[in-house]
Chains A and B, each alone.
Chain A
Amino acid sequence: MKFAYYPGCSADSSGVEYGMSMVRTAEILGIELFELDDWNCCGATSAHSTDKMLSLALPARNLAIAEKQGMDMLAPCAACYSRHRNVEYVIEHDPDMKHRIEEIIDKKLEGSTQTVSILDVLANKIGPATIASKVTQPLTGMKAACYYGCLLVRPVEYTGYDDPEDPQTMDEVMKALGADVLDWSHKVECCGAAMVTSRPDVGNRMLYHVLQGAKESGAECIVTACPLCMLNLDMRQAAVEKEYHTKFNLPIYYVTELLAFACGDAPETVGINKHFVDAIPYLNEVKKRAAEAEAQARAQQDKKETVTEDPELLQKKINSMIKAFEKGPDKMAGRLLDDESRASVLAEIISNDEKKRNKLAELMVSDKDKAVKVADAFVTGELKKRNE
């Protein structure tokens, strides 16, 4: 699988871990990434709050380059993804606008490639089974709230790869890594990132509700696929805790960081040590839980194996069962068949035919249902013989 890779402005700065873990995720899964040649910033919210034409033209230049590279474009940042999908939607549905955009960027647009989101790639194009097959350090016992926020699921005309109200793609990836995912209230609710610097009173309250929602669901961490969500949830968490006199202590992870970790990377390799809310201790805790769960599973497996595998014990059981058959053929026949007349025929068979007696005794030990069936067949055969 090949993609033109659009890292976005944050991959080298505030979202540096996202860039690191994205590259590792691609390596692990065999995805080839070719950085989009000389890409420019998409303009983000600032452009579409200022001028519509500008908000279309900036991403359009990138799309023209992707078309030249002849590859679909992977944009891990949810905001970048959304801005580029917006332009793709417009050039598909509004020929007049397409023409005006082409004039402004002085490049042609064919609409021959598509911008894709990381969740779409992981869950739908690669698939949970392939991801699970690469896992060496499963996240067993991790209690994760998958947070999609706004732009990975809305507007649905741009996204379309998942349900906008109860999306599942990130949940599927997390399950493939071995984690427990929780149903929770604020999966697709806005975290207020656009408001936190300008109106902290509004932004912090929105953020508080998201964090509180995760906490109430029993989650012990939040997983995201957007550098803006990460920055807000991680960096601003302490301020919100202070303002609302509470403690969340929720480490935030990129889904790509956890994928790399579950596939054997050290947390530092993908930048998990760079978070504001210390995200390392919880991974150690998960490691411990996973090891305990594995030890327990192994012990159970061993127990099962001793029962079926100790041949001496098994033979002892069979021998005592044979004795029971020899001593009380009527009683044993009654235990096998309900019909009295058929049971009495069976009792005769047990007394007279050593081979059949031993067979029934053996089956009584290993599989009683089968013993009943075989006993019934013996009686039917015997009656047939008598009638001939």
Chain B
Amino acid sequence: MSGKKGAKTVETAVKLTPITESQKEFISRIEKEAGTSIHLCYQCGKCTAGCPAAFAMDYPPRKIIRLLQLGMVDTAINAESIWLCASCETCTARCPKGVNIASLMDAMRRAALKQGKITDKKIAAFNKGFLSGVKNFGRTYEAGLTLQYNLSTGQLFKDMALGLPMMNRGKVSIFPERIKGRDEVKKIFEKVQQLGGEE
């Protein structure tokens, strides 16, 4: 390789800025929450090869880990792929280095949520609706849930095509099931919230 060509390669390479303290801190917090270490990863790509949602991802699992290894926290947390991950656990089950990628994706999702960086608003809306049902009744309120979910995304009629046949088959409980211990459950939500969790 000639000296000139070599120099050119360097010019077009990704410019890495040194990792900042806050990025470092973010990464180790994510690792701790996920109970895994990104530095174990040797980039073999087995996780991406088996990921059923990789076809739709901007940064499939291997690349998410690489971004974190390089300290590119912002790119990783803004990736759409963390919202496309179906939590199927295939990557974790197959990783030869024992990296718990699914758990990492989960931790990334929660971090994005806390920072208000939600690439997929619909999923966040769904989760919120689901959990408010659990908080108030102790169990889910499927009919109410569907409604709330659709309202907050402006898709009221989208699932009605399925809603009616569900009703006809006796597959929707119209009234939420309330448990006796719903105060206990509510308290669980409140305590978690005090710890800086779910809102």
**A341 CB contacts on chain B under 8 angstroms:** none
Per the bound structure, the CA–CA distance linking A49 and B110 in Å amounts to: 6
Residue of B nearest to A48 (CB): B106
Q: A53-B197, A274-B169 are in contact. Are A12 and B177 (CB under 8 A)?
A: yes
- Select which of A14, A44, A46, A150 is within 8 A of B90 by beta carbon: A150
Q: A9-B142, A190-B52 are in contact. Are A274 and B171 (CB under 8 A)?
A: yes
Q: Interface digits, B55-86 against A, CB 8 Å rule (1 contact, 0 not)?
A: 11000000000000000000000000000101
Q: Contact: B185 with A40, CB < 8 Å?
A: yes
Q: A40-B185, A190-B52 are in contact. Are A54 and B171 (CB under 8 A)?
A: no
Per the bound structure, the CA–CA distance linking A265 and B115 in Å amounts to: 54
Q: Contact: A155 with B93, CB < 8 Å?
A: yes
**B187 CB contacts on chain A under 8 angstroms:** 106
A387 nearest CB across to chain B (Å): 77
A184 interface residue, CB < 8 Å from B? no
Residues of A210-236 at the interface with B, using a CB-CB cut-off of 8 Å, are: 235
Residues of A13-61 at the interface with B, using a CB-CB cut-off of 8 Å, are: 13-14, 16, 38-41, 43-54, 57-58, 61
Q: Interface digits, A121-154 against B, CB 8 Å rule (1 contact, 0 not)?
A: 0000000000000000000000000000011001
Per the bound structure, the CA–CA distance linking A105 and B190 in Å amounts to: 11
A206 interface residue, CB < 8 Å from B? yes
**B195 CB contacts on chain A under 8 angstroms:** 53
Most buried by A among B52, B90, B165: B52
Known A13-B171, A52-B197, A205-B55; further 20 A-B contacts with Cβ < 8 A: A13-B142, A40-B179, A40-B185, A47-B131, A50-B110, A50-B113, A53-B198, A57-B192, A61-B181, A61-B188, A105-B188, A190-B88, A193-B86, A194-B86, A198-B120, A202-B56, A206-B53, A206-B86, A274-B170, A276-B165
**Nearest 6 A/B pairs, CB to CB:** A190-B88, A154-B89, A46-B127, A51-B198, A51-B197, A46-B130
